[in-house]
Amino acid sequence: MSAKQFEIKSYPDMWESLGMDVARFEKARCVLGDAFQTTFLSQENRPQRMDYFNWLISEMHGGRIREILDAKKEGRPVIGTFCVYIPEELVIAAGGICIGLCGGSQGPVPDAEKILPRNICPMVKSAYGFKAAKICPYFQAVDFVYGETTCDAKKKTWEILNREVPTYVMEIPQMKRERDRTLWLEEVKDFKAQIEKGTGKTITADAISDAIKIMNNKRKALQRLNRLQHHIPSPISGKDVLLIEQIAFYDDPVRFTEKVNLLCDELDERVSKGVSVAPASAPRVLVSGTPMAMPNWKAHNLVEKAGGIVVNDESCIGTRYFKDLMDENMTDIESQLKALTDRYMKIDCSCFTPNDERVDQVLKEYRDSGSQGILHYCLQFCHTYNIEAIKIKEACEKNGIPFLAIESDYSPEDIGQMQTRIEAFLEQIKG
């Protein structure tokens, strides 16, 4: 798919039936299309099988939405989420569709700021603004959404969001003791019960087993992609991998897994033939920190435009989402729910205290990926990641690892400053 051919397809009749502000969304569609063309389709020597993911972006607000609406007609639940702690396996076991609703765009932030405070996380404001302004077809299509208590801004925003769309909240403990595991298990059971109540169907152990396999296969495909990204020189750009990781929260999981594995087959061939997207001498960067919801591609784009390459994403969009697999041998529901709880408790979000395991994980991924420096990216007002960056920095200093901390939002206003700092960081890596 060439740059001239690319277009995010328009479905005004369908959008109007969803109660959207179609005129405003049409403008956003064009802006997103231009940004995608400039950021991704201008790259040289991209893998051919990125064409599927280009196509998915072109149909992200059209063909994929139609698939979701068809599923709703079949009685399948469509559930929106904002966090990787919500167990997707139970949604899939109910025959449902799980959609990530985190906002990564500056566009709806002013809409949110008419109601919410300005000095809170831009991801929370962006997500809420998409619903308040009715400019997100996914938000308009979901049956209900499930929030969580990973930060204060989120858990209070869910109360306001509930006025717009049915919103349920899963309590995530802030520690990982046995008593916290017990609480978390009860929350997982409540989540299952809420889905069953909404669908009128009972989730069976066999259905959970099948869903666990679907999610394990999806995670294995992403793990494979992550390993291939680590190759020196890398056969795929960091921003293309970021794009795929973002698409993971919207696409059908079985189809997505198949397409990622097909891409990885091509990347294997590129590695064997020495085909790469950047020279082996390009500074290799691990990006850690807050998740980058679509279409937030700013940090990766700046690194790679400056001659570096991102070779690992330690975030909820990246490795935190797919690094841990599930035990597939559980045959009764109680054991399955306990195993689900254990798996999701391994996710090392900065909301936990203490959280030394995340520092260890960042260092492990740094070594495994062959990185040469760590860029810790944090959204403004995300206090837990901002403060935890202190420990990451100290660990880098102890181990002689070049480190750069950047705090940003979704606006383009700080791009010049970020570019200057990233260019200096890459020079530091080069020595």
User: pLDDT tens digits for 111-147?
Assistant: 999 999 999 999 999 999 999 999 999 999 999 999 9
Dihedral sign for Cα 363, 369, 372, 376, please: negative
Query: What are residue 373's phi and psi, to 5 degrees?
Result: -170, 160
- Whole-prediction pTM: 0.97
Express each pLDDT in 44-82 by its tens digit.
999 999 999 999 999 999 999 999 999 999 999 999 999
What is the arithmetic mean of pLDDT over 320-348? 96
Tokens 């765009």, residue located: 105
Structure tokens at 415: 């791009």
Number of neighbouring beta carbons within 10 Å of residue 354 = 10
What angle (nearest 5°) sits at the alpha carbon of residue 419, between those of residues 8 and 276?
65
431 pLDDT band (50/70/90 cuts)?
Answer: confident
**How far apart (Å, rounded) are the C-alpha atoms in residues 185 and 402?**
40
Burial of 335 (0-12, 13-18, 19+ CB in 10 A): middle
Q: For residue 6, what pLDDT band results from cuts at 50, 70 and 90?
A: confident
Token duo for residue 381: 């007002």
Q: What's residue 342's pLDDT?
A: 96
Domains of the chain, with CATH numbers? Answer: 12-201 (3.40.50.11890), 209-325+349-430 (3.40.50.11900)
Does the pLDDT of residue 258 top 50, yes or no? Answer: yes
E strands, 75-194, are 78-81, 97-100, 144-148, 167-170
Give the pLDDT confidence score for residue 4 in this predicted structure.
59
Burial 218-253 (b: 16+ CB within 10 A, else e): bbebbbbbbebbebebbbbbbbbbbbbbbbbbbbeb
